[in-house]
């Protein structure tokens, strides 16, 4: 067995049940998926990335990202924005009153986000980054930051940036081991996460390239991080949370998907439920042999009943 230091972790005034976190993923980490990850052993899950500007204009699609209930064990919202005043106003707003944690996105590498001075662009502007953290802290909530190891390969500065975040009042920092220019591919720079871990006293969570228990053990060993965050792997194999935390799950993949569909239909409309369930099922199909022939049929399903039938065929053996 790979020795991996998994257990509860304190973030600000909150004690999380485990140091295995689920990353915020656009299009996926809606309320039902977060509830599933918590059930399987995740210690913390985040909403999809919410734009502070869109929230300011009470955008309907953005409000949908904020669906949560008191059943959710810990409620964490990920906020994207580059204007300290707007970020502070939204952090204190009624929109976010249900949330315990505000995670500030300082890692998104997408060109239009970067160009507008948000996401990973904030790493180039430590003054503004610090002002945003301080503003969000005035909401009285726990504030965490997700960033990268740097912008370009030849200029990595995770330790310096982590110190900026800690000094501004961040309660935890999650570091994606790739630079902005690497986007989502390539070997993560674990040594940069290790430097950051040595530079600050707040918890440091390592993220990037974790697809198995072996990957997680290696990441923890090489970085000395206080915990790990999984992303796409959590969609392909939600059971990874139990594999990492030693929390057994007796449910089958089919049972999980059926429960997801029921929970999603309870809180969202049919269009959203169909689209989300098709995406989640296709992620979970990736490791299965002989299911490709069903994929087209699944994407053609026009109602929840049709979709239920196809999913039952694909995951019947499990």
Active site residues: 108
Contact 257, 244 (CB under 8 A): no
For the chain, how far is it from start to end, CA to CA, in angstroms?
25
Sequence-ordered list of residues with C-beta below 8 angstroms from that of 256, at least 6 positions apart, any chain: 36, 238
Q: Which of 143, 141, 173 is nearest to 160 (CA)?
A: 173
Q: Read out DSSP for the chain?
A: --------EEETTEEES-SEEE---TTT-SHHHHHHHHHHT-SEEEEEEEEHHHHHTT-HHHHHHT---TTSSS-EEEEE-S-HHHHHHHHTSGGGTT-SEEEEEE----HHHHHTT-GGGGGG-HHHHHHHHHHHHTTTSEEEEEEESEEETTEE-HHHHHHHHHHHT-SEEEEESS-GGGTT-S---HHHHHHHHHH-SS-EEEESS--SHHHHHHHHHHH--SEEEE-HHHHH-TTHHHHHHT------HHHHHHHHHHHHHHHS-HHHHHHHHHHHHHHHHTT-TT-HHHHHHHHH--SHHHHHHHHHHHTTT-
């Amino acid at each position: 067995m790979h020795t991996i230091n998994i257990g509860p972790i304190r973030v600000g005034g909150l004690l999380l049940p485990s140091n295995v976190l689920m990353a915020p993923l656009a299009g996926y980490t809606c309320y039902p998926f977060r509830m599933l990850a918590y059930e399987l052993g995740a210690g913390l899950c985040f909403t999809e990335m919410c734009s502070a500007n869109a929230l300011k204009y009470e955008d309907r699609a953005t409000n949908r990202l904020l669906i949560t209930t008191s059943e959710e064990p810990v409620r964490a919202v990920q906020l994207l924005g580059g204007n300290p005043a707007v970020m502070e106003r939204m952090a204190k707003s009624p929109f976010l009153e249900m949330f315990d944690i505000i995670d500030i996105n300082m890692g998104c590498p997408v060109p239009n986000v970067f160009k507008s001075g948000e996401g990973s662009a904030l790493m180039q502007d430590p003054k503004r980054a610090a002002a945003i953290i301080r503003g969000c802290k005035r909401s009285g909530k726990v504030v965490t930051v997700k960033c990268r190891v740097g912008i370009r390969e030849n200029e990595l500065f995770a330790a310096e940036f982590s110190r900026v975040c800690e000094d501004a009042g961040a309660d935890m920092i999650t570091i994606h081991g790739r630079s902005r220019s690497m986007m989502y591919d390539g070997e993560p720079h674990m040594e940069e996460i290790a430097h950051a871990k040595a530079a600050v006293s707040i918890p440091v969570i390592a993220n990037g390239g974790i697809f198995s228990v072996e990957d997680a053990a290696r990441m923890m060993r090489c970085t000395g991080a206080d915990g790990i965050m999984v992303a796409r792997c959590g969609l392909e194999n939600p059971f990874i949370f139990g594999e990492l935390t030693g929390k057994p799950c007796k449910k089958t993949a089919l049972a999980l998907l059926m429960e997801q569909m029921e929970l999603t239909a309870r809180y969202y409309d049919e269009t959203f439920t169909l689209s989300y369930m098709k995406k989640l099922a296709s992620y979970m199909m990736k490791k299965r042999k002989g299911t490709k022939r069903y994929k087209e049929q699944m994407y053609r399903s026009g109602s929840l009943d049709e979709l239920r039938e196809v999913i039952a065929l694909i995951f019947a053996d499990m």
